[in-house]
């Protein structure tokens, strides 16, 4: 493990957050998990990764986060190859909230404070700016009242929110969310998706989110990337990607696509005779 110490100047200008994948290729056991993936997300945008199980969504997210080194291709943050940089400067600008994370018997507040490591190092105590960032992350994820609870004693959904709060405490320009609504009840599903849109549209972050629920993806995303077998089959607006033909062919299930009665986004329903 690399111990991040203080003193590294941030290599990126203020703002920014453009994330680009070019020709990403990764294999496991001789099978292509990512097959020359091309993708881009801009500040102020929510990009949702959708596709069947095994499509490569989580692998792609880990490659974008600089946690999985591809066999070919590049990941660039504001035009700079992340693998030509040290981990700490990248972590100051890009955060991942994974599906699962190793949890220790820390209080929620202490756990979220780990997100300040790229800014303070592992050894230095939190300063006023760090404590303010932790407080802000707790408030935005609805975890303030649980701040003194041990993360190992939380419900699965509460742990998911703690993991997201830790990512927000990094104060990133790029936020990568892997199935953030999993194990959450309806109230917090809505809250997390609403927060993702706020972070992009109001705070100017680049947000990449993987989702299994196509209707959630249609509601939260500005653009969708549809993956299958490690390839990007389509990239575009929800209207462009969520067609009955495209979804039926990719998932192997006939669907109906109509308009949401409130916001007009595509509403996908499997045909009843397939149940």
Are 165 and 109 within one domain? yes
End residue of a domain, out of 118, 144, 171 = 171
Helix or strand or coil: residue 10? coil
pLDDT (0 to 100) of residue 120? 85
pLDDT (0 to 100) of residue 15? 66
Are 239 and 251 within one domain? yes
pLDDT (0 to 100) of residue 14? 55
pLDDT (0 to 100) of residue 65? 96
pLDDT (0 to 100) of residue 4? 28
Print the domain residue range for 254. 19-93+172-274
1, part of any domain: no
Are 179 and 256 within one domain? yes
Number of domains observed in the structure of the chain: 2
Torsion angles phi and psi, residue 32, rounded to 5:
-75, 115
Nearest by Cα to 167 from 210, 242, 116, 122: 116
DSSP state of 115: G
9, part of any domain: no
End residue of a domain, out of 126, 145, 171 = 171
pLDDT (0 to 100) of residue 6? 32
pLDDT (0 to 100) of residue 274? 62
- pLDDT beneath 70: ranges in the chain: 1-15, 274-275
pLDDT (0 to 100) of residue 11? 47
Are 179 and 270 within one domain? yes
């Amino acid at each position: 493990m690399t111990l991040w110490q203080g003193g590294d100047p941030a290599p990126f200008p203020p703002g920014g957050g453009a994330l680009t994948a070019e020709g990403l290729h990764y294999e496991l056991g001789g099978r292509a998990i990512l097959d020359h993936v091309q993708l881009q997300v801009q500040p102020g945008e929510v990009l949702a990764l959708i596709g069947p199980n095994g499509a490569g969504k989580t692998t792609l997210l880990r490659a974008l986060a600089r946690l999985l080194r591809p066999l070919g291709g590049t990941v660039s943050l504001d035009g700079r190859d992340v693998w030509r940089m040290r981990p700490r400067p990248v972590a100051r600008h890009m955060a991942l909230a994974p599906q699962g994370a190793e949890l220790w018997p820390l209080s929620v507040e202490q756990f979220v404070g780990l997100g300040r490591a790229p800014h303070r190092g592992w050894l230095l105590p939190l300063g006023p700016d760090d404590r303010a960032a932790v407080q802000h992350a707790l408030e935005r994820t609805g975890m303030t009242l649980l701040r003194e609870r041990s993360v190992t004693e939380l419900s699965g959904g509460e742990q998911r929110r703690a993991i997201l709060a830790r990512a927000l405490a990094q104060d990133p320009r790029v936020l990568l969310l892997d199935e953030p609504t999993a194990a959450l009840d309806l109230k917090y599903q809505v809250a997390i998706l609403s927060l993702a849109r706020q972070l992009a549209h109001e705070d100017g972050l680049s947000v990449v989110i993987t989702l299994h629920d196509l209707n959630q993806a249609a509601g939260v995303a500005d653009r969708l990337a549809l993956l299958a077998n490690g390839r990007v089959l389509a990239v575009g607006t929800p209207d462009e990607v969520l067609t009955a033909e495209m979804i039926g062919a990719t998932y192997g299930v006939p669907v109906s696509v109509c308009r949401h009665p409130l916001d007009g986004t595509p509403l996908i329903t499997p045909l009843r005779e397939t149940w």
